[in-house]
Amino acid sequence: MANLSMTVNGKAVTANVDPRTLLVQFLRENLRLTGTHVGCDTSQCGACVVHLDGKAVKSCTTLALSCEGASVTTIEGLANGGALHPMQEAFREHHGLQCGFCTPGMIMAAVDIVNRRGNSLDEKTIREDLEGNICRCTGYHNIVKAIASGAEAMGKGAAPARQAAE
């Protein structure tokens, strides 16, 4: 067992964990933050995407101990109090989700795309940058629309809540 401390959604957390513990296990099982999902075991689907020090990572292939001292944001920490993050709002407005299982990872990946590529995203860029995320329900059509619109809204609005938390 090993000691671990990090900041998750703005709160300091410490724990004593098996060194094999993956970040996603730590989030889901120790912290009961079950919004981050596991959809595969080969790092292919992106259901587990969270932000580690502001960058998207697949928490299913990240050891919890490697995040010592880091700041992690999960889907639960994206909204700013009662106000949804513009990307969350865009997914709802554009029906970018059906069963909701891929959604937390999609939204976290989408915010990361905007952070990397800015607020004006064309369809091709969005589709290519979603390479690491699988959705079985939506056919991506509305996810692409949601991300384009969420990206624009992020540009208009205040700084994304995520950055405030980190």
Instruction: Report which residue type is found at 110.
Output: A
Partner interacting with residue 17 (select from ligand FES, another protein, none; CB below 5-8 Å by kind): none
Q: Is 140 in the site for another protein (CB under 8 A)?
A: yes
Partner interacting with residue 58 (select from another protein, ligand FES, none; CB below 5-8 Å by kind): ligand FES
Place of tokens 């607020």: 119
Cα(86)–Cα(107) distance, integer angstroms: 10
Widest Cα–Cα separation across the chain: 47
Contacts with another protein in 15-74 (CB under 8 A)? 18, 20, 28, 32-42, 44-45, 47, 74
- Give DSSP secondary structure letters for 44-92: -S-TTEEEETTEEEEGGGSBGGGGTT-EEE-GGGTSBTTBPPHHHHHHH
The residue (of 68 and 122) whose beta carbon lies closer to another protein is 122
Cα(121)–Cα(152) distance, integer angstroms: 8
Cα(49)–Cα(52) distance, integer angstroms: 9
Q: Which stretch binds another protein (CB under 8 A): 65-73, 100-108, 110-118, 158-166?
A: 100-108
Partner interacting with residue 48 (select from ligand FES, another protein, none; CB below 5-8 Å by kind): ligand FES
What is the contact surface with another protein in residues (CB under 8 A)?
18, 20, 28, 32-42, 44-45, 47, 74-76, 78-79, 84, 88, 91-93, 95, 97-104, 107, 123-124, 126-128, 130-131, 133-144
